[in-house]
Amino acid sequence: MADQLDSESGQIDQNIRAVQAFYSREEDKVSTSQRALERITLFIGKPLFLAFILLFVGAWMLANRVLMGLGRAGFDREPFPWLQGIVSLGALLIATVVLTKQNRLAALAEQRAHLDLKVTLLIEQKTAKLIELVEELRRDLPNVKNRHDPRSASLLQPMNPELVIAALDEGKAPAGPPKEAEGEPEPPTGTAPSSPPVDPSGGPTPSGLDGPST
């Protein structure tokens, strides 16, 4: 029992080390400029940066109003074109920095998705092999009645990755135009609607009656 626990613990440690090695390799690939940009994004994402922006804009506007109140020319009169330019430039730089980090994280996520797909296919192949071994053992046991199980027979076949990809592509294909509802055919163009029967007295016959009542 202790040997089994040690074996399981060793396998878990091996898996953890493999994951850590994967992330370490990805971190080593990051350039110095990329690391500097990501440090900037860490500061941008904090509430302190929002407070800094609000204080900067408020101080800018207040300083101009105070100078104008003292009879001096403000360095940025209303509607504060210099302030608008600074804010717009800052927004452009922030968006560029954030997109740079998002692109790296997206590439890392795609790599993890490919790894998950490979592991899933490997698990499926191993599961199919286990089912095959169990079915073979069941057939060899003399005290177990041999019977055909169509579900087990279908699970014996490992998954074909090409068929899975083809099925995903079909699911992404755009749907065709909706079919028109089938109904009664419309009367041809130019045909006049049938008129109700006329009563000999001069008026139309009421609906549901063949003629004047006797």
Taking CA 90 as the corner, what is the angle to CA 88 and CA 95, rounded to the nearest 5 degrees? 95
* CA atoms within 13 A of residue 121's CA, in its CB half-sphere: 12
Q: What is d(CA 119, CA 127) in angstroms, rounded to the nearest whole number?
A: 12
Task: Calculate the dihedral angle through the C-alpha atoms of 182, 183, 184, 188, rounding to the nearest 10 degrees.
Answer: -60
* Any domain includes 146: yes
How high is the pLDDT of residue 5? 58
Q: Could you tell me the pLDDT band of residue 86, with boundaries at 50, 70 and 90?
A: very high
* Any domain includes 147: yes
> Could you tell me the residue range of the domain that residue 141 belongs to?
9-44+79-169
Q: What is d(CA 115, CA 166) in angstroms, rounded to the nearest whole number?
A: 20
* Any domain includes 1: no
How high is the pLDDT of residue 45? 86
Chain-wide mean pLDDT for the chain? 75
How high is the pLDDT of residue 183? 46
**Count of domains observed in the chain:** 1
pTM score, whole prediction: 0.53
How high is the pLDDT of residue 4? 57
pLDDT beyond 80 at 93: yes
- 133-173: pLDDT as tens digits: 888 887 777 776 766 777 767 776 766 767 777 777 776 65
**Residue at token pair 């609607």:** 193
* Any domain includes 70: no
Q: What is d(CA 169, CA 162) in angstroms, rounded to the nearest whole number?
A: 11
* Any domain includes 197: no
* Any domain includes 191: no
Q: What is d(CA 97, CA 118) in angstroms, rounded to the nearest whole number?
A: 33
* Any domain includes 86: yes
* Any domain includes 103: yes
- 23-66: pLDDT as tens digits: 788 788 888 888 888 888 888 888 999 999 999 999 999 998 88
